[in-house]
């Protein structure tokens, strides 16, 4: 499979007990992450996610949006998420259109604290959106 095939095929990983659902939609330029994230090996899990995003940014001029609804993350997932945001930020600095929307359940206000920390070093558009039913 060429990198372009990989990109166009997208990703469709169903959620598991310890990993979020991942859906990469090439046609619309949207990647969705939804669920809890505490994989035993985050390198194995997030590898394809980061690869796909990196490849999209490298070969497409269209905007890329990340829709995230993750409730709980273990430490290595936090690192992976930061790696992901670093990727996006570097692309944004070079003029690519990237953005993140993080959805959270308004009944769980604590989540805002974590997400604000993630957002702090990002220069690209980062929306924190309340949406009931997101954990």
Partner 1 sequence: MASPLDVNDEAYIAEIHALLEHDAPETDWKRVTENLLVAYQKQQQRLDKLLRISDGFGDLTHAENLSLTEQYRKQLKRLQKIARISDLYQRTMVELNESLKQAALHDPLTGLPNRRYMIERLREQSALEQRKNSGFALLMLDVDHFKGINDRFGHDAGDRVLTSVAHTIQQCLREYDVCARWGGEEFLVLLPNMGLTEAQLVAQRVLDSVRNINMANVMGSSAFRIKALTLSAGVAEHSAKEHYEETIKRADQALYEAKEQGRDRSASHTY
Question: Contact with partner 1 (CB under 8 A): which of 13, 23, 29, 74?
Answer: 74
Minimal distance, residue 45 CB to partner 1, in Å? 10
Task: Name residue 99's beta-bridge partners.
Answer: 65
The helices-and-strands tally (H runs, E runs) of the chain is 4, 6
**DSSP type of residue 124:** S
Residue nearer to partner 1 on the CB measure, 31 or 115: 115
107 lies in the binding site for partner 1 (CB under 8 A): no
Minimal distance, residue 90 CB to partner 1, in Å? 14
**DSSP type of residue 134:** -
Site string for partner 1, 18-47 (x = CB under 8 A): --------------------x-xxxx----
Tokens, residue 102:
């993080």
Question: Contact with partner 1 (CB under 8 A): which of 29, 72, 122, 128?
Answer: 72
Could you please report the per-residue DSSP string of 10-73? -EEEPP-SSS-EEEEETTTTEEEEEEEE--S-HHHHHHHHHHHHHHHHHH--S-EEEEEEEEEE
Residue nearer to partner 1 on the CB measure, 12 or 86: 86
Pick the piece of the chain touching partner 1 (CB under 8 A) from 10-18, 55-63, 95-103, 114-122. 114-122
Alpha-carbon gap, residue 65 to 24, rounded angstroms: 10
Give the binding site for partner 1 (CB under 8 A): 38, 40-43, 72-79, 82, 108, 110-111, 113-114, 117-118, 121
């Amino acid at each position: 499979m060429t990198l372009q095939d990989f990109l166009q095929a997208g990703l469709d990983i169903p959620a598991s007990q310890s990993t979020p659902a991942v859906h990469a939609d090439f046609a619309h330029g949207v990647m969705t992450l939804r669920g809890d994230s505490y994989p035993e090996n985050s390198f194995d899990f997030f590898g394809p996610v980061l690869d796909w995003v990196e490849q999209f940014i490298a070969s497409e001029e269209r905007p890329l949006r990340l829709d995230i609804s993750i409730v709980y993350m273990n430490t290595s997932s936090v690192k992976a998420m930061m790696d992901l945001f670093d990727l996006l930020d570097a692309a944004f600095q070079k003029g690519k259109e990237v953005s993140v929307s993080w959805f959270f359940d308004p009944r769980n206000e604590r989540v805002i604290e974590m997400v604000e920390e993630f957002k702090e070093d990002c220069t690209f558009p980062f929306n924190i959106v309340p949406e009931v039913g997101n954990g």
